[in-house]
Structure 1
């Protein structure tokens, strides 16, 4: 199985930019969300949350705050960005900078992007559909709003802005989207379709996505809804190269757990992942799950597969809320945030995920100590 070497990343979450704030937020004995009551961004920001009172009852919002897209990217081309795309673009900008990647004519055909999503920008799709019904005939809808309605908008805009002419793929996989993107990247690099890939996921928090979660999630009454984006610079550089990568994704395994048999299905993914990575369970000291609310299925499945609960178990949604497609990307960000010092010297982490339809997945990640270079 192709090993993905991670040489840089860009991370945006409610904890703050980069991996260090997220790791710090999770480091306490009882991790808590960064704020207990979050005000909506002011109107006029790209795909903001709207006015107070628009959010569905019973849901706490945990948005990315302090994001100034125009300050980071400039005014050109940012006027009609939806929030999911804006998050992805800023994360990509950070990842290229952090990884020291210079995209020019000598390499742009071999640099691509693989991005996970749930369904693109739900707000853009619904707003555009509404416009076609309420505007004067012959339906005078602003055509500049249409590109935001397609699911691959964020990946397309990323490639356009940064001149990436290689693979451009969007995977609409919900909670498992990022782990699907990692597996896709493994296959693409193994087959020689690209030299470098920006692999990640993005999810926006808007009134529409909050209402969608309110109406569909079984724990909606106690659910906090978040957002975020993370992109990672990956390649299939040979193991042991100098300098060491920040981390290596050794294996990614997907499966299906019918009739709610998550423990069996996900446990099988963890075991197959360890076997493919040639890693013994004793080397795993960190488990990062995609659980939310009262869920404990992933922890139980991984613990059974490993033979014992790892020294540390993290649940990023306890502090960031339900992240949908961005879940796996921020799980990996949490792993990278903990790689400094003694926690990163060749030890392994397992990332797990499952969705409501029975999909399950697990990834095995080896962290390397890169003191002073983990912030992203």
Structure 2
């Protein structure tokens, strides 16, 4: 189900930030995308017991170093990444702080499980301790998937609706659509909309076994990545809005049987109709591009519905790895970073606001989706 705002009053993205393998903050991400810099690194001694020797990690990230000692003693990595991303966005300007916090500020976070490592560690302690209840109670909140969004609300006074949405690689699109619905229904005046995923031994082994079992021969073909992206979304119309993109359409679907191609094609057709646009307006595409059969079908669906558009391929997975639940969020920020470094007149001299970016997502669990953004 998707929400449709009246034409001319679609929500807009007014700010964004990211904590990614490129570094912390919007500038670091924009520079990495512009340079097309590979962030794959050989893992150090602290990650000896993982199935693959490389990954794409946020460089030098440590929760206490990033956020200080107060309130972080029991904070896990995915929560730290999320809280840092929110802080980077809100700290960028006084306007972001004013619009993005308070009673009317909602928070929507896309994830899959939250922290698999926290869940496994807590469960292991209950099984190996002298008594099942001899566990650290301070660690229990980390086992709940909405821990990161809850901590973000506490840290930054986000007093509106607070929601965590599970959706695999498409989680960012689910969160984006939920943000539109919050604004359209009047339940929020602004929405911080983000995604988050951590790298950990637990996630590495879960991904290794899932991929090698379901798709033999593909395990380890793309290193795992991590990070958190964050968007500030508002209703259009405020006098002081620094509009970066307009959300034209978000469409989500479910694969019936194994026909990913048909499911995504249907989403693309609906999105183009909802946005009242044509494929020739699309100047940039960011795919989830997994290495399994679903990823191949994703590309086929795009060709089926768009043909040869000549659009720039901004798919970020080759640079920052398989970021799991954070993937669609980083696809979105890739489009925004591209728009920032390529002024509209370079692509469309006759119509500075005519260029559109496309995000597509497929997940092995059967979730598919796409979004169209008018890039400014």
Q: TM-score, normalised by structure 1?
A: 0.87
Contact 2:14 2:241 (C-alpha < 8 Å) held by counterparts: no
CA offsets, 1:304-360, max 9 Å, x none?
212324421122111111111000010011111111254444211000001113221
Superposed, 1:132-281 pairs within 5 Å as 132-137=126-131, 139-217=133-211, 218=215, 219-238=218-237, 243-281=241-279
Deviation of the 1:243 alpha carbon: 4.2
CA offsets, 1:122-151, max 9 Å, x none?
111110011111222363211101010001
Contact 2:42 2:53 (C-alpha < 8 Å) held by counterparts: no
Distance 1:165 1:20 in 2: 28
Distance 1:125 1:305 in 2: 41
In the other structure, the counterpart of 1:4 is 11
Contact 1:111 1:195 (C-alpha < 8 Å) held by counterparts: yes
Distance 2:132 2:373 in 1: 54
Aligned residues: 353
Contact 1:59 1:223 (C-alpha < 8 Å) held by counterparts: no
In the other structure, the counterpart of 1:35 is 40
- Unaligned residue ranges in structure 1 (runs of 5+): 41-50, 369-376
Distance 1:183 1:234 in 2: 11
Superposed, 1:282-301 pairs within 5 Å as 282-293=280-291, 295-301=295-301
In the other structure, the counterpart of 2:360 is 352
Distance 2:152 2:25 in 1: 19
Distance 1:52 1:84 in 2: 17
Distance 2:270 2:149 in 1: 31
Superposed, 1:61-76 pairs within 5 Å as 61-76=55-70
3-state SS, counterpart of residue 148 of structure 2: helix
Match of 1:98 among 76, 92, 96: 92
Deviation of the 1:39 alpha carbon: 2.8
Distance 1:241 1:330 in 2: 28
Q: TM-score, normalised by structure 2?
A: 0.87
Deviation of the 1:285 alpha carbon: 0.7
In the other structure, the counterpart of 2:349 is none
Contact 2:224 2:323 (C-alpha < 8 Å) held by counterparts: yes
In the other structure, the counterpart of 1:307 is 307
Distance 2:343 2:164 in 1: 33
Cα gap change, 1:19 to 1:299, in 2 (>3 Å) = farther
Q: For structure 1, which segment, 119-128 or 335-344, has the greater mean C-alpha deviation from structure 2 after superposition? A: 335-344
Distance 2:61 2:165 in 1: 25
